[in-house]
Amino acid sequence: MQAIAEDVYIENQYLGVTLGAIRLPHGLIQVDAPPSPEDVRAWRAVLLSLGGSSERLLINLDAHPDRTLGARSMECTVVAQEKAAQVFRSRPSTFKAQGDETGAEWEAIPGLGNVRWVPPEISFSHEMTIYWGGTPVLIEHHPGPGVGALWVILPEPKVVFVGDAVVPNQPPFLAGADLQAWIDALKVLLSPAYRGWLVVSGRGGLTAVEVIRSQVEYLQKIMQKCEKLAEKKSTPEEIEKLIAPLLSGFKIPNERQRQYTQRLRYGLYNYYMRHYRPTNNTAGEE
């Protein structure tokens, strides 16, 4: 676990997403949970070592299974944006480790079995502020990677957790994306309002400004390529031609090639169907 500011910690060692912990006088605010049951147990033990009040709150940065599968095992109140809460209401009550390959991290966990979702007990529309003593914790809705994506913002130490808004060194998840909203959110992150802040990616930890700029350019490239296909009235199957060029800019380990290729294939297909073939809409949830 790495301390990035006073009483603010991140953890990158578990499979899945970058985790966060904010220690406040009233209790501990956690950002996301690992998908693996074994990692959940390890993470809970680490959090106990932080001490302080026994009150705990878990914030889900979006509804993606990588960051929500382990929420029930964290055994605390869960907070999410209201559109993410709607995603949970549309899911079966029990998650089954089968179905489409989406290129997600949870798909690499052996013996995951059936997991019961824990829908958020607290939700909000645009923003919410938590006052647990010390610095206030602001939660803002920033759609783009998913309809219920949010940021956790700590104005005093100038730290912001942005989830899948920035995903360094790997292709982003696109199936549920709104690329224009995503680009707009990243431009806010690049504005003077966030100059000098520590930006925590949900899949990579602390993130430099140059990485955020590269993310904007990458998403713009995807939009342009999809729009050209749509202008030609291309079939969704022609999305396959985009995968190799869009992967070429990443230095991908050999063991990740298949996963990241499938992530782009699944994401691009669902994005294209939702935005350019709405009469044949797909669920678009990863």
- Tens digit of pLDDT for each residue in 9-60? 999 999 889 999 999 999 999 999 999 999 999 999 999 888 777 799 999 9
Outline where DSSP puts E strands in 89-226: 94-96, 114-116, 122-124, 127-130, 137-141, 150-154, 159-163, 198-201, 205-207
Task: State pTM to two decimals.
Answer: 0.92
240 falls within a domain: yes
Residue 280 pLDDT exceeds 60: no
Range of the domain at 85: 2-280
pLDDT, average across residues 245-274: 91
Instruction: Provide the residue count of the chain.
Output: 286
Q: Is residue 225 part of a domain?
A: yes
pLDDT above 60: residue 163:
yes
What pLDDT, in 10s, does the model give residues 61-73? 999 999 999 999 9
Residue 281's pLDDT is: 46
- Beta strands at 77-81 and 122-124: parallel, antiparallel or unpaired: parallel
Q: Would you state the structure tokens that stand for residue 125, as one six-digit string?
A: 């529309």
Residue 271 inside a domain? The answer is yes
List, for residues 63-119, the tens digit of each pLDDT value. Answer: 999 999 999 999 999 999 999 999 988 887 777 666 668 999 998 888 777 788 888
**How much is the pLDDT for 278?**
67
Residue 286 maps to a domain: no
Q: How many independent structural domains does the chain possess? A: 1
Torsions phi, psi of 52, nearest 5?
Answer: 85, -165
What's 72's domain CATH number?
3.60.15.10
Could you tell me if residue 285 is inside a domain?
no
